[in-house]
Amino acid sequence: MRLTILGGGGFRVPLVYRALLRDREEGRITEVVLHDLDAARLGAIARVLAEQAAGVPDAPTVTTTTDLDEALRGTDFVFSAIRVGGLEGRAADERVALAEGVLGQETVGAGGIAYGLRTVPVAVDIARRVRTLAPDAWVINFTNPAGLVTEAMSRHIGDRVIGICDSPVGLGRRVAGVLGGDPDEAFIDYVGLNHLGWLRGLRFGGVDQLPRLFAEPDLLESFEEGKLFGAEWLRSLGAVPNEYLHYYYFNRETVRGYQEAEQTRGAFLRDQQARFYEKMAHPEAPAWRTWDATRAEREATYMAESREAAGAGERAAEDMESGGYEKVALAIMRAIARDERATLILNVRNRTTLSVLDADAVIEVPCSVDANGAHPMAVDPLPGHATGLVCSVKAVEREVLAAADSGSRATAVKAFALHPLVDSVNVARRLVDGYKGAHPGLAYLR
């Protein structure tokens, strides 16, 4: 079984490989092909994987290539984890937005739109290549903004693309843990769009345990989302929002947090990751150790501005040992390859799940996964205010897809202007100018 990783020189690849190394079962991945545009990054990551594999019998083989067609031809699974414009691009997304006083986060608000506008054309090209070169392959999309990019790809390869994110999984794990349940056994009632969803129930032992959480303020503020939003607001909502909703519910504070930070997240990671790849340029650098120290620092500072704005303090130790993405990705592959049914929160086409959206809109929802792919499960409708946000943001995503398709600048302006976190059409116009100036990849907008 072969797995191709696009963005194979990317920093998170060793997490995926670690998960693969632990899989000893029949039908597991035996070959990994790393594809990246940058040969030096590929070489650095390949060295980390080689150290991970040392001493593991039958470790999956690893090959590297900068040729996309070669990487895709005949493969069984594709992980797409690319970053168009690199971390320099992410830092520019933040900078341009903050200069206008709006959020520039990589997936939410103006920053997410800019990132989507330059990523969608590349993702569509990949989907087309997959359709030609590996028509039976399953594509697992990690590339952000994950919901939007998954929808763009689904227009070309249908339900063979499945989008993943670790934030609903992390949320479910934290809430189950606080309630004394096993996260792998609990059913997590969660729905929305990627980075825009709400947990409304969590069932184990045949009972919804969430009312217990709302009854006890101490429990409610004992985990990441509880600290971010505060018990009172969670009670008002009657649900636990995804951590990314902090950018909506506390928009002023998060924008100010970003503005006052010494460096934005993207700028910090740009410098931190550059140091990692520079160190790896020395052939004698201890690959795994260098990588793991960089990873630990990255995890510890995740969403630091939001936690600071909310006075939420340090991240919990158990939240810092990743295990989100790669676990979900491996679970999807297992369920598909061995037809072992699994329930996972994924980004898939809506079909009839949320009646306010059309069938092709990609949403994030618990899915039942088997050899035929991921099937969204029935969930209760969202309340009015959440439905409003989901519909607004989906409308924005559709304008981004339309702009990427037509190359229309006016459509790109419409995408920014309609976003609930962009407060003026004039701001939207200046954002398009600013982003076009910062990103050569947006020259197509005319």
Distance of alpha carbon 8 from alpha carbon 82, whole angstroms: 8
Please choose which of Mn ion, ligand G6P, none residue 302 contacts, taking the beta carbon within 5 to 8 angstroms, the exact cut-off set by kind. Answer: ligand G6P
Read off φ and ψ for residue 202, nearest 5 degrees: -150, 110
Token pair in block for residue 372: 């035929």
- Shortest Å, Cβ 12 to ligand G6P: 8
Distance of alpha carbon 305 from alpha carbon 308, whole angstroms: 5
Read off φ and ψ for residue 189, nearest 5 degrees: -85, 100
Q: Determine, following the binding rule CB under 5 A, whether residue 165 of this chain makes contact with Mn ion.
A: yes
The CA distances from residue 79 to 92, 96, 259, in Å, are: 26, 30, 34
Let me know: does 177 contact 183? Beta carbons within 8 Å: yes
E strand or H helix at 202: strand 196-204
Please choose which of Mn ion, ligand G6P, none residue 225 contacts, taking the beta carbon within 5 to 8 angstroms, the exact cut-off set by kind. Answer: none
User: Looking at 35, 160, 298, 414, which residue binds ligand G6P (CB under 6 A)?
Assistant: 298
CB atoms within 10 A of CB 150: 30
Q: Determine, following the binding rule CB under 6 A, whether residue 144 of this chain makes contact with ligand G6P.
A: yes
- Shortest Å, Cβ 302 to ligand G6P: 5
- Shortest Å, Cβ 298 to ligand G6P: 5
Q: Determine, following the binding rule CB under 6 A, whether residue 290 of this chain makes contact with ligand G6P.
A: no
**Binding string, 68-107, against Mn ion, x = CB under 5 A?**
----------------------------------------
Distance of alpha carbon 150 from alpha carbon 158, whole angstroms: 10
Please choose which of ligand G6P, Mn ion, none residue 209 contacts, taking the beta carbon within 5 to 8 angstroms, the exact cut-off set by kind. Answer: none
Strand pairing report for 187-193 and 196-204? antiparallel
**Residues 193/199/202/208 CA torsion (nearest 10 deg):** -120
- Shortest Å, Cβ 82 to Mn ion: 14
Q: Determine, following the binding rule CB under 6 A, whether residue 265 of this chain makes contact with ligand G6P.
A: yes
- Shortest Å, Cβ 98 to Mn ion: 21
Token pair in block for residue 330: 């491996």
Smaller CB distance to Mn ion: residue 53 or 421? 421
Smaller CB distance to ligand G6P: residue 106 or 399? 106
- How close are the terminal C-alpha atoms of the chain, in Å? 44
Please choose which of Mn ion, ligand G6P, none residue 298 contacts, taking the beta carbon within 5 to 8 angstroms, the exact cut-off set by kind. Answer: ligand G6P
Read off φ and ψ for residue 190, nearest 5 degrees: -140, 140
Please choose which of Mn ion, ligand G6P, none residue 214 contacts, taking the beta carbon within 5 to 8 angstroms, the exact cut-off set by kind. Answer: none
Residue 84 gets the label, from left (phi > 0), alpha (psi -120 to 50) or beta, of: beta
Say how many residues touch ligand G6P, by CB under 6 A. Answer: 8
Smaller CB distance to ligand G6P: residue 33 or 165? 165
**Binding string, 156-195, against ligand G6P, x = CB under 6 A?**
---------xxx----------------------------
DSSP 8-state assignment for residue 159? G
Smaller CB distance to ligand G6P: residue 75 or 290? 290
Q: Give me the residues that bind ligand G6P (CB under 6 A), please.
A: 144, 165-167, 265, 269, 298, 302
